[in-house]
A and B are shown apart, each in its own frame.
Chain A
């Protein structure tokens, strides 16, 4: 047993074991926190190790239980876990984000929580979510991918409706229904793929799907793209997202916004490049990407609640990633991969900052906010760095990712690609407009100028959202920002800046990852143990 094969299952195993232990330790909150933090810290280390090993040795494949190639002519029969450069990068970034957010949630709970806070439910569920995300990135089998999705979705249902207030139940119902429909479409796609090929192992599928007629291939790909498109929130399948995410508590929204949609994007990359290269849907995906970008950001302009506004920018920026994928070129794919990494970090950071704003100012809507720059220059700094990064101001990583995508579009040279380049620039400018609006309203003007500036939420809400509106003057002083919330937010900003400072090596890595994704031979031979 090599180091690599010992490390591969750990990102799924450790959070699951951690979830079980935290459930057992339900009555001992301190122990529970230690377990959760330790489990996710180990996952970060393991994922970093996997990143190093894959970059050095190529694709790692593990047949769980040794059920690899058994009968000639049949694919691997058991569960296959595969790590290539793309999944290793996704794993590392997700693990860092998961650790930072759990730190933030614990910090918030310690400072603002009371005995009613359902922390004893929160941590185990959060760990199951982490395991599901890692499982989806590791899956070498379509059905395992489905199971990974279901794990993270079931956990996300619980996290979204924690406390079960009226708003959250309403948002939760919509979210559960849409997610379940997308899962059923995915399962339907799995059944069709199985009918067409007789296997679900992705490497074996990649070989066998080449023998399927073009029309059937396109139909199968279309079913899977619809299923993944709902999860990734690609227009017109994106309307569920801004309705459901903003009602959850800040750390939950942050981790959802950062990771869940990106799992969908990852699945689209796999289906597009490994299973159905040249699947014939690229023009459709390009149009969907354009509409996602433009419609999403126009939605953001109309919002006054910062959480909703950020949810719309989240939808809008998924368009950039789909754009890069649909170009089917090396530069487009590496731009998309870099952009996914950048966007996970930046979007999570922004939602964590909104959590801080909500705690300090007692509101997250622009109708009530004002004067934050004077009240807390530190908070203003924490907001402005990721906000400018999201808007694509040079030299931040958002700018680098967008430039790579624009170049790839120009390289493609078709009319549609140029339209997308134009749409991308427009979206970038409008994103800047949107964050600048938040900046001028929430940070610069005085709070007396806000139409509802005199109102605020009574108490800082940690995980629940049941506090009443009161007059701002009656609100108790919440004190300074807790270190437990500041430190992870700051750490994620540093990670975001690292993506800028080390852009050369990281972009080179995503280029190598894109090479590996587009040349399926390495993946196939690593899993099947033979040349394709």
Chain B
């Protein structure tokens, strides 16, 4: 099977632009990235489905070509397009909702993740610890008259 370079370069370009957009935090750009990658892959399916110019109907001749064009590749692309259209509509609805809720469309980090990652080792051990029990106060300095006074810990 001969393959032409131009569609492959186009597929590569679409996919890399899509990945670049997908790495953004803006929802619209992420959606555009998804759509670009989806188109790149659809084009790839079309490219692997056989060379162009074949007749779509069995038994016909088109421009000197006799092999029937592969209908499966087009069927798959059609399915993929329908699916990505549905998902795109859903993502747009989600974007709008997110905009209504936060007045922005940047995706924020997971607050629970941030909380856990910012804890020091000491915080982590005290995360859901029982309420600290009042322990005996450590009184290491030299005894003086204040220690004789009655206090919360009693006289020392």
Contact = CB atoms under 8 A, between A and B. Distances in A.
A171 B101 CA distance: 14
Contact of B87 (A172, A180, A441): A180
Given A177-B34, A451-B128, A302 B116 contact: yes
Contact of B37 (A184, A305, A367): A184
Interface in A270-284: none
B90 A305 contact: no
Contact of B94 (A150, A161, A200, A303): A161
B97 A164 contact: yes
Interface string A144-155: 000100100010
B84 to A, nearest CB: 8
A61 to B, nearest CB: 19
B98 interface: yes
A366 B128 contact: yes
Contacts of B41: 184, 187-188, 191
B56 to A, nearest CB: 16
Interface in A72-89: 77
A401 to B, nearest CB: 30
**Max chain A C-beta neighbours (<10 A), residue from B72, B86, B102:** B72
A195 B101 contact: no
A310 to B, nearest CB: 14
Interface string A179-208: 011001001101110110000100000000
A194 B48 contact: yes
Contacts of B91: 173, 176
Given A150-B83, A169-B97, A367 B48 contact: no
B90 A157 contact: yes
Contacts of A243: 110, 113
Interface stretch (B59-67, B73-81, B141-149): B73-81
A: contact size bracket: 35 or more
B107 interface: yes
Contact of B131 (A173, A302, A449): A449
Contacts of B80: 187
A304 B108 contact: no
Interface in B79-121: 79-80, 83, 86-87, 90-91, 94, 97-98, 101-102, 107-108, 110, 112-113, 116, 119
Interface residues of B, number: 39
Interface string A128-165: 00000000000000010001001000100110010010
B116 A191 contact: no
B132 to A, nearest CB: 9
A169 B131 contact: no
Contacts of A166: 101-102
B100 to A, nearest CB: 9
A339 to B, nearest CB: 28
Interface string A437-456: 00001000100111100000
Contacts of A143: 76, 79
A308 interface: yes
A305 B130 contact: no
Nearest to B83: A150
B110 A304 contact: no
B45 interface: yes
Dominant secondary structure of chain B at its interface with chain A: helix
Contacts of B110: 170-171, 174, 243
A172 B108 CA distance: 12
B22 A174 contact: no
A194 B45 contact: yes
Given A143-B76, A184-B41, A187-B41, A176 B124 contact: no
Interface in A411-429: none
B44 interface: yes
Contact of B128 (A174, A177, A181, A304): A304
Contact of B44 (A77, A147, A169, A191): A191
B127 interface: yes
A445 B34 contact: no
A174 to B, nearest CB: 7
Contacts of B72: 77, 194, 200
B86 A154 contact: yes
Contacts of A200: 72
A150 B87 CA distance: 10
Nearest to B37: A184
B129 interface: yes
B48 A191 contact: yes
Contacts of B73: 194
Contacts of A445: 130
A184 B34 contact: yes
Contacts of B87: 154, 157, 176, 180
B18 to A, nearest CB: 9
Nearest to A179: B87
Given A195-B48, A303-B116, A367 B128 contact: yes
B98 A308 contact: no
Contact of A169 (B45, B94, B119): B94
B69 interface: no
A187 B34 CA distance: 13
Contacts of B102: 166
A154 to B, nearest CB: 6
Contact of A177 (B22, B86, B129): B22
A170 B98 contact: yes
B33 to A, nearest CB: 9
B17 interface: no
B78 to A, nearest CB: 12
Interface string A486-515: 000000000000000000000000000000
A268 B90 CA distance: 28
A181 B76 contact: no
Nearest to B75: A143
A380 to B, nearest CB: 18
B32 interface: no
B38 interface: yes
A449 B98 contact: no
Interface string B127-141: 111110000000000
Closest 4 CB pairs of A and B: A195-B48, A366-B128, A449-B130, A304-B128
Given A187-B45, A449-B131, 13 more contacts: A169-B97, A170-B107, A176-B90, A176-B91, A180-B87, A184-B41, A190-B76, A194-B45, A200-B72, A302-B127, A365-B128, A367-B128, A450-B128
